[in-house]
């Protein structure tokens, strides 16, 4: 374990890697702080920079962008009441009122330090949990792996209980898109409609870039959001949270860090749900709930600790099982696959340096991002003066470069454009883009394992799911069923009791 830790820090502290981590942190904080650029979009836009890097450097760089973007999003949430990323939305509830009463520097300090604490706690949890989970998963056969990947999808419906049908449709569309291309077992073209371009399947990276970056630009083009300025953004002096203040909020920070990590581990859940859940939990547990929403430091601490903790949590299923814990993790996973890295339970066993370098990168990022964020908060009024007409258009250019550079052809740029428009429509009608992405990423794994499992059982699907042959599969599928049915049953129950 100690050797692994040392090797991770050796990789991360090598001059080139460290320079990329610092660059990734700066990029992440700036991207995250810009309204309309989510954490997933920040990772997607940073992807083309990672194409030329070694896989280990690339994952360390992207991890830095991911962690830093969540933290950066807190800056605009506090100063302008505009969450830089959706996961910073609860930070506005108390951060903005604090800024309005002239405590912007203190609010920023609390946000930065608690973000770092959340990120570090989650990184430690990731480092300790991932090998255990991977070790268990190595013993799994195709039937169990099918059930594990299917569980990832069903979690989504439980999380978006208002749109269960739409979330399921989006997830199924993702699974369907994953079937396009060469059949994995027969090596025959499937659903290509005679197109040569579709033979290699739907490229995940341009699709993700389109759905995150282009969709967001189109949304802003359609209905631009306005900034509400406190007037304090021009000359902010961040005042870091002291030990005494931190100790007074130890309960809030600890609970939010644990909750954030656990929510992050759930596939599809991620930082947004973590921060809202932590915030509402603290309101419920507080003896003085009325102070929340009026500028309570505890509100900022809960939201920012949890959303950063979720970043570490999201890495656990990605590194241990090859199942992304969220959109950003899905993009990172695609980048690793692109580099020829076999992501899955064997990764930690055969190449443990991936776990240790992600861990070391998260630790380093969470420390240096505090320093970088203080500096960025100082000059932020200048950065934010960049009008969306320039920022949005630059995002289109970066997204295009990211899609083109993948294979050096413009078909991927076209795919990105189509995905952007499709993402906009999905978003408009409240279908979950996250479910579609998760379906697309998990699709090949679900199909290949299910078909292998059926083949091993001589064509009997019943044997694959029978408790006598595959008890773990049965348990996991029952859990999937419960997750799928829970929102429907709970709604019916609520109607009856009403």
What is the binding site for another protein (CB under 8 A)? 48-49, 51-52, 165-166, 168-169, 172-173, 175-176, 179, 183, 185-186, 188-191, 193, 214, 217-218, 220-222, 224, 387-390, 392-394, 396-398, 400-401, 404-405, 408, 410, 413-414, 416-417, 420-421, 424-425, 429, 447, 450-451, 454-455, 458-459, 461
* Residue 255 or 451 having the CB closest to another protein: 451
Least Å from the CB of residue 218 to another protein: 6
Least Å from the CB of residue 498 to another protein: 18
* Residue 68 or 175 having the CB closest to another protein: 175
* Residue 213 or 269 having the CB closest to another protein: 213
Is 399 in contact with 214 (CB distance < 8 Å)? yes
* Residue 112 or 159 having the CB closest to another protein: 159
Least Å from the CB of residue 96 to another protein: 25
Least Å from the CB of residue 185 to another protein: 7
Least Å from the CB of residue 423 to another protein: 12
Least Å from the CB of residue 217 to another protein: 7
Residues in Cβ contact with 193 at an 8 Å cutoff, skipping those fewer than 6 apart? none
* Residue 128 or 185 having the CB closest to another protein: 185
* Residue 248 or 401 having the CB closest to another protein: 401
Closest CA to 260 of 133, 95, 87, 111: 87
């Amino acid at each position: 374990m100690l050797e692994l830790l040392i090797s991770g820090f050796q990789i991360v502290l090598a001059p080139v890697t460290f320079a990329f981590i610092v660059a990734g942190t700066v990029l992440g904080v700036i991207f995250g702080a810009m309204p309309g650029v989510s954490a997933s979009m920040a990772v997607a836009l940073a992807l083309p920079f990672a194409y030329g890097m070694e896989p280990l450097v690339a994952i360390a760089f992207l991890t830095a962008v991911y962690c830093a973007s969540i933290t950066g999003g807190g800056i605009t949430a506090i100063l302008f009441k505009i969450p830089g990323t959706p996961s910073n939305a609860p930070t506005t509830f108390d951060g903005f009122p604090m800024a309005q009463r002239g405590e912007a520097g203190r609010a920023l300090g609390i946000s930065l330090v608690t973000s770092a604490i959340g990120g570090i706690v989650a990184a430690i949890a990731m480092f300790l949990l991932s090998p255990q989970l991977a070790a268990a998963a190595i013993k799994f056969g195709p039937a169990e792996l099918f059930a594990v990947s299917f569980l990832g999808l069903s979690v989504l419906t439980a999380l978006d209980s208002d749109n269960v049908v739409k979330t399921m449709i989006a997830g199924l569309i993702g699974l369907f898109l994953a079937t396009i291309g060469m059949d994995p077992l027969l090596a025959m073209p499937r659903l290509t409609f005679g197109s040569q371009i579709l033979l290699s399947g739907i490229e995940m990276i341009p699709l993700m870039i389109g759905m995150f970056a282009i969709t967001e630009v189109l949304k802003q083009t359609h209905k631009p959001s306005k900034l509400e300025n406190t007037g304090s953004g021009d000359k902010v002096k961040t005042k870091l949270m002291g030990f005494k203040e931190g100790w007074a909020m130890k309960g809030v920070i600890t609970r939010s860090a644990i909750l954030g990590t656990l929510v992050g581990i759930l596939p599809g859940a991620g930082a947004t749900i973590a921060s809202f859940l932590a915030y509402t939990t603290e309101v419920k547990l507080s003896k003085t709930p009325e102070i929340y929403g009026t500028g309570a430091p505890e509100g900022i601490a809960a939201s920012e600790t949890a959303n950063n903790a979720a970043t570490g949590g999201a890495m656990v299923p990605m590194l241990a099982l090859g199942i992304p814990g969220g959109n950003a993790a899905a993009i990172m996973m695609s980048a690793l696959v692109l580099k020829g890295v076999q992501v899955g339970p064997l990764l930690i066993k055969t190449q443990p340096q991936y776990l240790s370098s992600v861990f070391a990168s998260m630790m380093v990022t969470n420390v240096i991002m505090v320093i970088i964020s203080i500096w960025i908060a100082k000059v932020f009024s200048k950065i934010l003066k960049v009008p969306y007409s320039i920022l949005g258009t630059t995002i289109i250019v970066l997204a295009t470069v990211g899609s083109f550079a993948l294979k050096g052809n413009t078909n991927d740029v076209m795919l990105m454009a189509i995905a952007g428009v499709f993402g906009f429509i999905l978003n408009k009608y409240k279908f979950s883009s996250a479910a579609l992405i998760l379906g697309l990423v998990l699709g090949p794994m679900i199909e290949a394992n299910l078909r292998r499992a059926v083949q091993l059982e001589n064509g009997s699907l019943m044997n694959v799911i029978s408790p006598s042959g595959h008890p773990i599969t049965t348990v996991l599928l029952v859990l999937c069923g419960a997750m799928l049915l829970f929102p429907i049953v709970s709604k019916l129950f609520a109607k009856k009791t009403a």
